[in-house]
Chain A
Amino acid sequence: MIDLIGYGAFFLTTALIFSLISLGLNLQWGLTGLFNVGVAGFVAIGAYVSALLTTPHDAARFGGFELPILAGWLGAMLVAGVAAAITGFATLRLKSDYLAITTFGVAVVVQLVALNAQSLTGGAFGIGFIPRPFAALAETPLLFNLSNVAIVAAVTLVAYLALQHLSKSPWGRVLKALREDERAAISLGKSARFYRVQAFAVGGALMGLAGAVQAHFIGFIAPDNYAPMLTFQVWVMLIVGGSGSNIGAIVGSILVWAIWAGSGALTATLFAPEQQARAASLQIVAIGVMLCLILLFRPNGLFGNMTQRRRIRLGQRKPS
């Protein structure tokens, strides 16, 4: 029973970290309509920045400033936010597919830098000895996991409440207007550039924070953690939960992560050890099937309003 609670806490910690990333994506896509397919890149930036700021000195690479974990998290948000703002500024003229291609390119560049800039990132071996919150409790796994889930839940709750407040504010109203019709919003005196960059930056900062929280939870990071699969997972989480809904982003993350972890456990049980590597692909299949089912039977996700938007667009074409 204690093991089960411990695993539950571990599972929820990971799921809530994904929730943080999904909340960032929801601000960019769900609220503002910015098609960011480079999510993994901003998560990676946050993870590496926090790791460099908080790890012990290492002569083989840059960093190792031994700052407190909180400073690492703030640094991660700042650098990932600035990186996202620069990306947003550089892609001001791009929309939909072109914006997606560019952000995907950014994520690939970040991953390649993480892999090759050995003196900065530790290269393929990554960065270890990242300080973990409540490390003193590590000998008691249950307490350690419960402490971690509490702190991650608190961070997620603060992010959720802040985003809820913003989405109902005049600032959020402008973002929704840009999502609905950028030209109309501009004609009403709103600077599309200014708000697009802001939405990119705040969303990127949240993704960076999630990367940092995850890095400190696991204690080790490597470039493989930030492959395009991470972006895919987060998009599925948001679509399942419902684009445009903050609560949907959180519920979708927990649900999809449950299926991901559950299908992983199932393949480990059902397949022989020599087939495990190939069987792992079934996790992706499970997520894909779930995505198809959601799109077929509940295209607006569990809490979202995408269908409504599609109907609206169709409705607008009808002559009055």
Chain B
Amino acid sequence: MVSTGEVAVGAPVLTAKHVVRRFGGLLAVNDVSFDVRRGEILGLIGPNGAGKTTMFDLLAGSLPPSGGDIVLNGVNVSGESAHRRLSRGLGRTFQIPRPLANLSLLENVMLARQGQTGESLLANFLRPLRVAAEERAAEDKAMDLLDLVSLSRLAHEPARVLSGGQRKLLELARVMMADPAIILLDEPAAGVNATLLEVIMDRIRGINDRGVTFLLIEHNIDMVTRLCHRVLVMASGQLICEGTASEVARDPRVIEAYLGGAADPGGDA
């Protein structure tokens, strides 16, 4: 790991190379290239319709790219499905949290564990002891993660009882269960009150300190400024700027993209 100014970063863990995505005649992502370096928290911002969530879907494997490559830990994963990318260490959360509402919080988190023997139909009858042992270990780890996001007291409640902010915390615990090297966070601050937002930011920092890399989409510029080591800015499907939060905030291309040059993009954009 090398230090670049105030940011301590390593080799690229996730790379987008000339990524393109078309929806019919609409070019939603247009020749976008960037690296996410190991250990950093990278922000991806831009006005509505910039192509950020589409870019996330491409990186996570929810959408196939029309062109270009996505490289994860040195492996080209462009043709791989979302569920295989998680097993390679890439986890994601959603803009609108998607808890499995009828399952308990504990089940939600345990589900995310990768390579469980008991997920094989026959193993449940042929290797019951191993399945039971893995379940106990998974339960312990899931409880630790729920504790990390301050939700352990609700572990056995169905996920439907959670508030919007708690659902985001649950998603964070859930994706952590898969031991990802990098987590894509889609608007973790959206719809969350200020108190819970501080908790979310604190947990993201804590997880980042454990060596997990983050790429996050966020409209809350205050959060981006306080949390992200570097920031990418997209507009009209293209990457227009890259730098620290203060650098991009002063960049005239960013001001133009957000406000047509009338003002700077500070505050809640």
Interface residues of A (CB under 8 A from B): 162, 165-166, 169-171, 173-174, 176-177, 180-181, 183-192, 198, 202, 305, 308-309, 311-313, 315-316, 319-320
A172 to B187, CA, bound (A): 31
Contact A316 B102 (CB under 8 A): no
Please measure, in the bound complex, the distance between the C-alpha atom of A166 and the C-alpha atom of B110, giving whole angstroms.
Answer: 16
Are B102 and A176 neighbours in the complex by a CB distance under 8 Å? yes
Q: 1/0 per position for B205-230, CB-CB distance to A under 8 A?
A: 00000000000000000000000000
B102 close to A180 (CB less than 8 A)? yes
Which B residues are CB-close (under 8 A) to A305? 102
- Contact between chains at A171 and B178 (CB < 8 Å): no
Decide yes or no: A174 and B101 within 8 Å by CB, A189-B86, A319-B191, A320-B191 being known contacts: no
Closest Cβ–Cβ distance, residue A78 to chain B (whole Å): 15
Q: In whole angstroms, how far apart are the Cα atoms of A313 and B159 in the complex? A: 12
A319 to B165, CA, bound (A): 11
Residues of chain A lying within 8 A (CB to CB) of residue B167: 320
Return the contact of A188 from the options B62, B84, B86, B118 (Cβ within 8 A): B86
Given A176-B102, A190-B83, A316-B101, also A169-B110 (CB < 8 A) = no
* Minimal Cβ-Cβ distance residue in B for A313: B101
Q: Which of B8-16, B119-127, B232-240 contacts A (4 or more CB under 8 A)?
A: B119-127
| Cα distance A177–B159 in the bound complex, in angstroms | 12
CB closest chain-A residue, reference B122 = A171
Residues of B within 8 A of A190 (CB): 83, 111, 119
Beta-carbon contact of A185 and B111 below 8 Å: yes
B148 at the interface (CB under 8 A from A): no
Q: A317 CA to B111 CA in the complex, in Å?
A: 24
CB of B67 within 8 A of chain A? no
A166 interface neighbour in B121, B134, B135, Cβ under 8 Å: B121
Could you say which residues of chain A place their CB within 8 Å of the CB of B91? 187
Tell me, in angstroms, the Cα distance from A170 to B98 when the chains sit together: 19
Give residues of chain B (89-148) contacting chain A, Cβ–Cβ below 8 Å.
91-92, 94, 98-103, 107, 110-112, 114, 116-121, 124-125, 131, 134-135
The residues of B that contact A171 with a CB separation of less than 8 Å are: 118-121, 124
27 example contacts (A-B, Cβ-Cβ < 8 A) are as follows: A165-B124, A165-B125, A166-B121, A169-B124, A170-B116, A170-B117, A171-B118, A171-B119, A173-B107, A174-B119, A177-B103, A181-B98, A181-B100, A184-B99, A186-B83, A187-B82, A187-B92, A188-B112, A188-B178, A190-B83, A192-B83, A308-B102, A309-B102, A311-B160, A315-B101, A316-B160, A320-B165
Q: How far is the CB of A237 from chain B (nearest CB, A)?
A: 22
| Chain A residues closer than 8 Å to B231, beta-carbon distance | none
Asked whether B81 lies within 8 Å of A186 as measured between CB atoms, the reply is: yes
- With both beta carbons as reference points, the residue of chain A lying nearest to B123 in the complex is identified as A171
Contacts of A316 in B (CB 8 A): 101, 160
Q: Which residues of B, 192-215, contact A by the 8 Å Cβ criterion?
A: none
Q: Which 8 A-B pairs have the closest CB atoms?
A: A320-B164, A170-B118, A189-B86, A184-B98, A312-B101, A180-B100, A169-B124, A188-B112
B60 interface contact, C-beta 8 A: yes
Q: Which of A173, A184, A198, A319 contacts B94 (CB 8 A)?
A: A184
Chain B residues with CB under 8 Å of A312's CB are 101-102, 158, 160
Q: What residues of B have a CB within 8 angstroms of the CB of A177 in the complex?
A: 100, 103, 111
- Smallest Cβ distance from B136 to chain A, in angstroms? 12
Q: Is the CB of A173 within 8 A of B82?
A: no
Q: Shortest beta-carbon distance, A80 to chain B, in Å?
A: 16
CB of A200 to closest CB in B, whole Å: 12
Q: Is the CB of A174 within 8 A of B98?
A: no
Which chain B positions have C-beta within 8 A of A181? 98, 100
Asked if A189 contacts B100 (CB within 8 A), the reply is no
Q: Name the distance in Å between A187's Cβ and chain B's nearest Cβ.
A: 6
For the complex, is B174 an interface residue (Cβ under 8 Å from A)?
Answer: yes
Residues of B close to A183: CB separation below 8 A: 62, 98
Q: Which has the most chain A C-beta neighbours within 10 Å: B81, B101, B120? A: B101
Residue of A nearest to B87 (CB): A189
- In addition to A188-B111, A190-B119, A320-B163, 9 A-B residue pairs with Cβ atoms within 8 Å of each other are A170-B110, A170-B116, A170-B131, A173-B103, A177-B100, A180-B103, A186-B82, A319-B164, A320-B167
Query: What residues of A have a CB within 8 angstroms of the CB of B119 in the complex?
Result: 170-171, 174, 190
Q: Is the CB of A176 within 8 A of B100?
A: yes
Q: CA–CA, A177 to B134, complex, Å?
A: 19
Q: How far is the CA of A311 from the CA of B161 in the complex (A)?
A: 11
Residues of B within 8 A of A165 (CB): 124-125
B86 neighbours in A (Cβ, 8 Å): 187-189
Q: How far is the CA of A311 from the CA of B134 in the complex (A)?
A: 33
| A180 closest partner in B (C-beta) | B100
A189 near B83 with CB under 8 A, answer yes
Q: In the complex, what residues of A have CB within 8 A of residue B164's CB? A: 319-320
Beta-carbon contact of B121 and A198 below 8 Å: yes
Most chain A beta-carbon contacts within 10 A, residue among B110, B111, B114:
B111
